[in-house]
Amino acid sequence: MCFYQLANFNQAATVLSKISKVEGSPFAEEALFYVAKSYVEMEDLEKGTVLFQDLVNKQGFYSKQAALELKKLKK
């Protein structure tokens, strides 16, 4: 999260992507959300869109926020 807050989006995506893949991690979904946001900030809209859609499909805590991010991208 620190890398994201410092606008170091490439490093944020790298680190948070690893966290998002840890089985059973309570932070996995949040990490994936910020990986998606990092990709969008780096103007890789395709990767960001895919990850946001994945979060929406999982219907977890970040699904509504991911849906809002998808709406922003479609404008």
Q: Summarize pLDDT for 20-70 with one digit per residue, the tens.
A: 999 999 999 999 999 999 999 999 999 999 999 999 999 999 999 999 999
Question: Could you tell me the two tokens for 40?
Answer: 């969008």
Inter-residue contact 36 to 52 (CB < 8 Å):
yes
Q: Where are the domains of the chain?
A: 2-74
Residue 19: the pLDDT is 96
d(CA 61, CA 45): 22
pTM of the model: 0.94
Inter-residue contact 71 to 46 (CB < 8 Å):
no
Structural Rg of the chain based on CA atoms: 11
d(CA 7, CA 29): 20
